């Protein structure tokens, strides 16, 4: 339960409104407990001297107390419950902020569905603690103490007698709550699985339909959903015991009140008004008695959810600025240098890059080629600090990139990754995603022209206002790649990284794009990863990666003369082109 104390910072932010809420609880509870006392006096007074004026007077008093109590009950919700919603907002914002600061590695190893479950169900469960649980804890405790005090002042013996069953009720509620806590944790885990499955199904709908796996996915989802229902039913079966226990135990208290209290009335130890007041007070105590167990249940569920959230909060933010970060750096020129750089994705995993040394002068173009899985993408990911080196340094303009502010570094690097991602927004908003001025039509047209996207846009009914489907599903592979290129160019980068960005583009269009890029990238640094020799042959420098090391380096003709890996790749591609022409 110590985890829940981590929420105190949110309570402190709203202490003024919470204090007001506690004041409203006091006023509401005091006026509410006066109603049975007035009822007691009215019954005794009417028993001695019944008349219409007396009935009206007491009715007005009870009505006024009920109105005051009800009004401040409303004000409690306007303070404490509203604060709980504000805290929920802060929790979600802090959670989201922390998530977006986590490294690329975390998202590679964690499913989207699991994260979404944390952001919905778990935060909602924590809100139940900071809202209803806190409100009812204070409310029921205050009301319980006031009612017990008044009942003891009327008759201590009768009070002790009729309250005997209530601790039993609270005990059973608490025991049931512990079981519910375990069931709730299992439910949350299964909910994460279902969310993950749903997200993957919707994202991979093309694959599902292509392989005619609809029936398989429906059956799998039915099994997962059935297990989720079963776990919920297990919890509901336990919760179903609440009401029978409530009626049994409270019914026992009422029987004791009638037996013992009735005998006291016969012996003139109590009045009928006292019995009526006790009956109302007993009704007031039933909810606090249940609430103690119910609140314990909420607290346990919140603790389970906070434990899951805490795992994410405890995730270290790998890529971050330090005290050594030079905030005086406002821009970069683009000279890149790798000094003895090695990299691996985990301590127990093999090296992906080993002692790489290379310099890329400002305004030059470096091409990287090599077979699949030799470390090409890993190499360029180090430049924008999606990952940090395991050993060695990456320098830009002679400065270690760890000393350059992250926003300065990344705002000057245009990255077109292998896997194109587009938002479910208009084409225009996707292209100008990294630009502050979303109304810059000249920039929009210019980058679309360079990426050869303008020809396709002219055929769209809504032009740049065309809304793309999820992940750009409404565009072809080549259109998505060119949109991603336009987005990278729009930020006016000093360094442009193209990671196999033309794989879905035909060779003629690719050639036109490269011609346009030559003009655009004057005095800027370009890095091109490609499997096509035609894409990289005009680069100022070409490196061939093999098993994480630079196996070959030089210009196109120089590498051909070596007769090594580059020559082999080039020869095979020429052979493929020849076969295609003959076919």
Instruction: Look at residue 75 and tell me if it is in a domain.
Output: no
Q: What are the C-alpha distances in Å from 166 to residues 37, 173, 287?
A: 22, 11, 10
Report the DSSP pairing between strands 495-499 and 525-529: parallel
Q: Tell me the Ramachandran region of residue 25: left when phi exceeds 0, alpha when psi lies from -120 to 50, beta otherwise.
A: alpha
Q: Answer whether residue 250 shows pLDDT above 80.
A: no
Q: What is the mean pLDDT of residues 177-183?
A: 72
The rounded distance, in Å, linking the Cα atoms of 560 and 369 is 13
Instruction: Look at residue 377 and tell me if it is in a domain.
Output: no
Q: What is the mean pLDDT of residues 290-318?
A: 72
Instruction: Look at residue 383 and tell me if it is in a domain.
Output: no
The rounded distance, in Å, linking the Cα atoms of 500 and 552 is 19
User: Helix or strand or coil: residue 544?
Assistant: strand
Instruction: Look at residue 209 and tell me if it is in a domain.
Output: yes
pLDDT at 434: 78
Mean pLDDT computed over every residue of the chain? 79
Number of structural domains (the chain) is 1
Least confident of 22-26, 300-304, 485-489, 525-529: 300-304
Band (pLDDT 50/70/90 cuts) for residue 236 is confident
pLDDT at 190: 80
Provide the residue range defining the domain that includes 271.
80-313
Instruction: Look at residue 547 and tell me if it is in a domain.
Output: no
What digits encode the pLDDT tens for the residues 424-434? 778 788 888 87
Nearest to 549 by CA among 251, 271, 380, 341: 341
> What tokens does 507 get?
């060779």
pLDDT at 471: 64
Instruction: Look at residue 170 and tell me if it is in a domain.
Output: yes
Nearest to 471 by CA among 203, 176, 181, 97: 203
Q: What is the mean pLDDT of residues 466-475?
A: 70
pLDDT at 413: 86
Return the DSSP state at 216. Answer: H
Q: Answer whether residue 560 shows pLDDT above 80.
A: yes
pLDDT at 126: 74
Q: Answer whether residue 3 shows pLDDT above 60.
A: no
pLDDT at 7: 66
Per-residue DSSP letters for 9-71?
A: HHHHHTHHHHHHHHHHHHHHHHHHHHHHHHHHHHHHHHHHS--HHHHHHHHHHHHHHHHHHHH
Q: Which residues contact 361 (CB under 8 A, 6 or more apart)?
A: 335, 525
Q: Which residues contact 578 (CB under 8 A, 6 or more apart)?
A: none
Question: Residue 270: which CATH number?
Answer: 1.20.1560.10
Instruction: Look at residue 532 and tell me if it is in a domain.
Output: no
**pTM of the predicted model over 0.75:** no
What digits encode the pLDDT tens for the residues 147-161? 888 888 888 888 888
Q: Answer whether residue 180 shows pLDDT above 80.
A: no
Instruction: Look at residue 29 and tell me if it is in a domain.
Output: no
Least confident of 60-69, 103-112, 191-200: 103-112
- Residue located via tokens 């005086």: 328
Report the DSSP pairing between strands 413-416 and 525-529: unpaired
Q: Any alpha helices (H) in 259-271, and if so which ranges? A: 262-266
């Amino acid at each position: 339960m110590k985890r829940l104390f981590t929420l105190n910072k949110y309570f402190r932010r709203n202490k003024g409104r919470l204090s007001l809420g506690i004041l409203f609880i006091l006023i509401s509870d005091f006026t509410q407990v006066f109603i049975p006392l007035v009822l007691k006096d009215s019954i005794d007074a009417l028993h001695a001297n019944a008349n219409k004026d007396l009935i009206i007077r007491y009715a007005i008093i009870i009505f006024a107390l009920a109105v005051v109590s009800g009004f401040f009950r409303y004000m409690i919700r306007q303070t404490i419950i509203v604060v709980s919603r504000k805290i929920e907002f802060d929790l979600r914002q802090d959670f989201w902020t922390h998530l977006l600061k986590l490294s690329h590695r975390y998202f590679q190893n964690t499913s989207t569905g699991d994260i979404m479950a944390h952001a919905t169900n778990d935060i909602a469960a924590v809100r139940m603690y900071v809202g209803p649980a806190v409100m009812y804890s204070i409310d029921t405790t205050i009301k319980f103490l006031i009612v017990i005090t008044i009942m003891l002042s009327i008759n201590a013996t009768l009070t002790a007698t009729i309250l005997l069953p209530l601790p039993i009720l609270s005990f059973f509620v608490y025991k049931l709550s512990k079981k519910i806590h375990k069931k709730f944790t299992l439910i949350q885990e299964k909910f994460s699985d279902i969310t993950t499955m749903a997200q993957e199904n919707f994202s991979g709908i093309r694959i599902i339909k292509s392989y005619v796996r609809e029936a398989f996915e429906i059956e799998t989802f039915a099994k997962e959903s059935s297990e989720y229902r079963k776990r919920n039913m297990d919890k509901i079966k336990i919760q179903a015991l609440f009401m029978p226990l409530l009626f049994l135990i409270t019914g026992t208290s009422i029987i004791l009140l009638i037996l013992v209290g009735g005998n006291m009335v016969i012996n003139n130890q109590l009045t009928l008004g006292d019995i009526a007041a006790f009956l109302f007070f007993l009704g007031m105590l039933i909810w606090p008695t249940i609430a103690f167990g119910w609140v314990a249940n909420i607290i346990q569920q919140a603790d389970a959810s906070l434990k899951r959230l805490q795992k994410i909060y405890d995730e270290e933010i790998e890529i971050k600025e330090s005290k050594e970060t030079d905030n005086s750096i406002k821009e970069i020129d683009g000279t890149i240098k790798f000094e003895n750089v090695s990299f691996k994705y985990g301590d127990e995993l093999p090296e992906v890059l080993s002692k790489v040394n290379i310099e890329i002068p400002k305004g030059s173009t470096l091409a990287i080629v090599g077979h699949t899985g030799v470390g090409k993408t890993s190499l360029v990911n180090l430049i924008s600090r999606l990952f940090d080196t395991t050993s060695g340094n990456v320098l830009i303009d002679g400065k270690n990139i760890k000393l350059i502010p992250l926003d300065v570094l990344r705002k000057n690097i245009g990255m077109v990754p292998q896997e194109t991602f587009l938002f479910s927004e208009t084409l225009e908003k996707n292209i100008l995603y990294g630009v502050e001025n979303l109304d810059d039509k000249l920039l929009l047209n210019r980058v679309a022209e360079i990426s050869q996207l303008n020809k396709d846009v002219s055929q769209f009914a809504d032009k740049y206002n065309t809304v793309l489907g999820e992940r750009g599903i409404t565009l072809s592979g080549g259109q998505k790649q060119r949109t991603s290129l336009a987005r990278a160019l729009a930020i006016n980068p000093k360094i442009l990284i193209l990671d196999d960005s033309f794989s879905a583009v035909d060779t003629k269009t690719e050639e036109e794009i490269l011609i346009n890029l030559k003009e655009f990238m004057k005095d800027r640094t370009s890095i091109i990863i490609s499997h096509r020799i035609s894409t990289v042959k005009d680069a100022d420098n070409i490196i061939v990666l093999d098993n994480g090391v630079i196996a070959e380096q030089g210009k196109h003709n120089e590498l051909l003369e070596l007769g090594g890996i580059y020559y082999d790749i080039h020869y095979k591609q020429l052979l493929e082109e020849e076969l295609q022409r003959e076919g």
